[in-house]
Every structure is written in C-alpha cells, then in structure tokens.
Amino acid sequence: MTTLLGVELAGRPVLVVGGGPVAARRAQALLADGAVVRVVAPELCADLAVLARRGAVAWAAREVASDDVADVWLVQCATGRPAVDDAVAAWAHDRRVWCVTAGDVRRGSARTPA
C-alpha cells in the first residue's frame, strides 16, 4: 500500500544521481521546492550543465559512491542503469534515507507523482 506524503525539502540537501534529461527534470523540481541539490554523474546533459554553471546545483563529475548518500534527506536516482540504481537504493535504505528511482519505482522507498 502506498500512502500519499508531502515532504518539506526547502533548505535541505538532496542528491540526484544521473546526468541525463530525467535527472535534469528532477533537479529542477527539487530546486523549485527550495532543496539544496547535489548531482553526481560523470557527465551532464545540457540542461543540468547550465544549472551547474550557474551554481544552482553542485556537481561531482564521477560515478556515485556509498558516501554520497550520507547527510541527505532524499535521493533521486535517474541513471538509466538498474545495477547502479539498485546499489544507490540499498545505500539509502541502510542509512534510512528516502530514495526515488526513476527507472523502476519498485527499487526505491519513495515515489513522486506522475
């Protein structure tokens, strides 16, 4: 059973894993909610690159690691790589951090409305 829940993210650190268009849309929505967004991805699509250049998001230009999940309130996975999303979801679960996986909602502990 899924329960509808609103989460206040304004001023809180959030991790976006992935650098493509889906990650860009998620990052933009989080920024609109006032979250402090950090993106971890080896490369960024044009929209995310603009956000990084403007300083709207912090970008770590590398593969994600388990320590990236520490000290965030929410993780948004949008890598398009199920093995990576599974690993990130497991790291988030171990740290009791909510995790949304864009590729398969069953992988994460949270969902975003369509």
* pLDDT tens readout for residues 57-100: 999 999 999 999 999 999 999 999 999 999 999 999 999 998 88
Under the banding of pLDDT at 50, 70 and 90, the label for residue 36 is very high
Tell me which DSSP letter residue 42 carries: S
Average pLDDT, the chain: 91
Q: What is the structure's pLDDT at 23?
A: 96
**Is the pLDDT confidence value at 111 over 70?**
no
Q: How far apart are CA 88 and CA 108, in angstroms?
A: 9
Length of the chain: 114
Token digits of residue 3: 């329960």
Q: Does pLDDT of 107 surpass 80?
A: no
Confidence label for 114 from pLDDT (cuts 50, 70 and 90): low
The pTM of the full predicted model, rounded to 2 decimals, is: 0.91
Q: For residue 25, which phi and psi values (nearest 5 degrees)?
A: -65, -45
Specify the pLDDT at position 109: 64
- Read off the amino acid at residue 78: A
What is the residue whose two structure tokens read 């059973």? 1
At residue 22 the predicted structure's pLDDT band, cuts being 50, 70 and 90, is very high
